[in-house]
Amino acid sequence: MNRVLITGGSGFLGSHLCERLLDRGDEVICLDNFFTGRRRNIEHLLGHHRFELVRHDVVEPILLEVDRIFNLACPASPIHYQFNPVKTVKTSVMGAINMLGLAKRVRARILQASTSEVYGDPEQHPQTEGYWGHVNPIGPRSCYDEGKRVAETLFMDYHRQNQVDIRIARIFNTYGPRMHPNDGRVVSNFVVQALRSQDITIFGNGRQTRSFCHVDDLVDGLIRLMDQEEGDVQLPVNLGNPGEFSMLELAQKILRTSGSTSRIVHEPLPQDDPRQRRPDISRAQRLLGWEPQITLDQGLPSILEWFRKDLEIS
């Protein structure tokens, strides 16, 4: 049994991680400032004897006795991370410093939830971990992209300088139950629009691509990476589903699966929107024996069903 701290534990990914770790017998401390996290995501865990909830902001230091830290605290959707960009940078950078300081002090292993956004608008396709990226340092996405890049730097430096036992997961677009309906990410937007018979808003011509991983696969990858003792485990590892789809294809799939009569409309493409994205997951396959099991076609019906209930649409 491990004593595990999950920052951002009441968010979309964090709440699934809390559940999975409790299921296997770990003790879980969920730490969150509830900026984008929801109490209802973890409400069902509140009575659990191995679960504890701490309201705290990672920008401030904290001392807790734990063996493992999953550092997930950070708004992940463009509308949320651009709402207060200075705070987003602080969360990524000061959050990383505070959590790495804690890991160093109590000798905990620590995993950073990094992102495919460290590759920016990539000129290498698919993206391998060796690619340094193509990121605008002064654009509207920079607070998130550069914040996450500095966090990776801090992780590597604490590892080299202080021998902190680190893991870095570069997470690609993930979807599943408990995504916030107003979170602005493409899967939740399209699904909610389809269920409410509203127009499906494709930004730009819809030919930009993304790769979508189901949350169950993603959480499995995070746990494997944290548990892995052997190999190049201190290097970043891409975690994502290599299936690649254009936003037009995604919209059509959601329309077909839901039977919705929504129309597709086009809206302006946001600045610096990456044109293509697909993970090369050979490192995760080799190091962790991990690869996603759930295709987008298999995952979409369950997310539609979940949103139907969440929004109480019959």
Catalytic residue ranges: 144
Residue 32 binds what, of ligand UDP, ligand NAD, none (CB under 5 to 8 Å, by partner type)?
ligand NAD
Our CB check for ligand NAD shows the closer of 61 and 301 to be 61
3-class secondary structure, 203: strand
Query: What are 131's two structure tokens?
Result: 């690619």
Our CB check for ligand NAD shows the closer of 197 and 293 to be 293
The residues, ordered by sequence, that sit 6+ positions from 262 with a Cβ below 8 Å of its Cβ are 193, 194, 197, 198, 199, 200, 255
Binding piece for ligand UDP, criterion CB under 6 A, among 33-41, 98-106, 122-130, 182-190: 182-190
According to the binding rule CB under 6 A, does residue 244 interact with ligand NAD? no
According to the binding rule CB under 6 A, does residue 245 interact with ligand UDP? no
Q: Which of residues 13-72 bind ligand UDP (CB under 6 A)?
A: none
Residue 115 binds what, of ligand UDP, ligand NAD, none (CB under 5 to 8 Å, by partner type)?
ligand NAD
According to the binding rule CB under 6 A, does residue 186 interact with ligand UDP? yes
Nearest to 140 by CA among 188, 180, 80: 80
Four-residue CA torsion sign, 138, 139, 143, 145 = negative
Query: What are 294's two structure tokens?
Result: 């759930």
Residue 126 binds what, of ligand UDP, ligand NAD, none (CB under 5 to 8 Å, by partner type)?
none
Nearest to 247 by CA among 214, 202, 213: 202
Report the run of H or E that residue 169 belongs to, with start and end.
Answer: strand 166-171
Q: Which of 73, 96, 226, 254 binds ligand NAD (CB under 6 A)?
A: 73
In contact, 210 and 173? CB cutoff 8 Å: yes
Residue with tokens 């992940």: 76
What pairing do the DSSP bridges indicate for beta strands 244-246 and 209-211?
Answer: antiparallel
Our CB check for ligand UDP shows the closer of 201 and 282 to be 201
Query: What are 129's two structure tokens?
Result: 């971990």
Q: Which of 110, 151, 195, 202 binds ligand UDP (CB under 6 A)?
A: 202
Q: Which of residues 80-99 bind ligand NAD (CB under 6 A)?
A: 91, 95
> Closest separation between CB of residue 200 and ligand UDP, Å?
8
Largest CA-CA distance found in the chain, in angstroms, rounded:
57
Q: How distant is the alpha carbon of residue 302 from its chain centre? A: 19
Q: Which of residues 87-116 bind ligand UDP (CB under 6 A)?
A: none
Residue 72 binds what, of ligand UDP, ligand NAD, none (CB under 5 to 8 Å, by partner type)?
ligand NAD
Q: Which of 4, 5, 28, 58 binds ligand NAD (CB under 6 A)?
A: 58
Residues at the contact surface with ligand UDP, assessed by CB under 6 A: 78, 173, 185-186, 189, 201-203, 208, 210, 247, 270, 273
